[in-house]
Amino acid sequence: MKVCRTIGEIRAALAPVHLSGRSVGFVPTMGYLHAGHLSLVERARAENEATVVSIFVNPTQFGPEEDFARYPRDEPRDLALCDEAGVNFVFTPDAAEMYPPGFQTYVDVTGLSQGLCGASRPGHFRGVATVVAKLFAIVQPRRAYFGEKDAQQLRVIRRLAQDLNLPVTVVPVPIIREPDGLAMSSRNVYLNAEERRAALVLYRSLLVARDLVRSGEQNAAAVAEAIRALIAAEPLARLDYLAIVDDETLAPVERIDQPTLIALAVFIGRTRLIDNVLVNP
């Protein structure tokens, strides 16, 4: 496995791969890797001749009051996990490499970035879309792998690739969960024992919502009410947003009669967690 810290190095390392026409699968991450990330790697390995993982805590996608400075980092562990997983190239630049003095070009996926996490985290998806566009230009992958855990991000990136005619296939990968249902996330490390237990309310309320839809409930307001009641009953939880939206456009729906994404963000103490389920009546 080759570890590259500059754009020049990763370009030079990948040049022979591209020249020989071998397919490159790409998994962008912010590191502190867990089984969710590794499932993207596994998928990339299965479908491509070479696998690239990027590890970059991207400053432009964090708000001024957010956790950029304390976001968990453990490079030696991440590199060992990548090596074990059969990754061929790791690209782990520093912020100055990606955003040198004079940087002033941003990518804005205007519509899809607006609601859900985009409403609670202004500028977040502009940072995400910009860094992913840059990473695609640097790595030039044939396929790139994104987790359904970040449902809005996946749709923003898909739109970005389509709108800018980028020659990359965006591949969605299902959410990996802890045995008790909590969606794996690098941020779960912030939770103390009590918060870790309280964090189960996200998936538990989404499952209740899914069961309601399965048993015939089509009124989005009724489903929302059930979720809100469960979150309100958990003293350590505070709902940031709940969205019941069209799976494709992310526009709010009143009736759940098409593929519908139920997504939420919940503060557990100071830690903001997200989760979602797709319901298809």
Catalytically active residues, by annotation: 37
Which residue number, 138 or 184, has a Cβ lying nearer to ligand AMP?
Answer: 184
Q: Which is nearer to ligand AMP, 36 or 256 (CB)?
A: 36
> What is the distance between the alpha carbons of residues 171 and 152, in angstroms, rounded to a whole number?
14
Long-range contacts of 179-184 (CB under 8 A, 24+ apart): 181/207, 183/36, 183/149, 183/273, 183/274, 183/275, 184/34, 184/35, 184/36, 184/149
Please enumerate in sequence order all residues whose Cβ is within 8 A of that of 15, keeping only pairs 6 or more positions apart, or say none.
none
CB of 36 to ligand AMP, least distance (A): 2
Residue 150 or 195 having the CB closest to ligand AMP = 150
> From residue 1 to residue 30, what is the string marking binding to ligand AMP with x (rule CB under 6 A)?
----------------------------xx
How far is it, in rounded angstroms, from Cα 78 to Cα 153?
23
Structure tokens at 181: 């249902």
Q: Alpha helix (H) ranges present in 172-273?
A: 193-198, 200-214, 220-232
Task: Figure out which of the listed residues 92, 185, 260, 271 binds ligand AMP, where binding follows CB under 6 A.
Answer: 185
Residue 37 beta carbon to ligand AMP: minimum distance, rounded to whole angstroms: 5
Quick one: 243 or 256, whose CB is closer to ligand AMP?
243
Q: Please, which residue, 135 or 176, has the CB nearer to ligand AMP?
A: 176
Handedness of CA 16, 18, 23, 27 (dihedral sign): positive
By the rule CB under 6 A, 271 interacts with ligand AMP: no
How far apart CA 6 and CA 11 sit, in angstroms, is: 9
Q: Which stretch binds ligand AMP (CB under 6 A): 93-101, 180-188, 197-205, 255-263?
A: 180-188
User: Which one among 184, 206, 212, 261 touches ligand AMP, defined by CB under 6 A?
Assistant: 184
Q: Which of 131, 156, 170, 175 binds ligand AMP (CB under 6 A)?
A: 175
Could you give phi then psi for residue 28, rounded to 5 degrees?
-80, 135
Can residue 37 be called a binding residue for ligand AMP (CB under 6 A)? yes
Binding to ligand AMP in span 114-173, by CB under 6 A? 146-147, 149-150, 173
- The candidate with the shortest Cα–Cα distance to 274, out of 229, 230, 242, 236, is 242
The residues binding ligand AMP (CB under 6 A) are: 29-30, 36-37, 39-40, 146-147, 149-150, 173, 175-176, 183-186
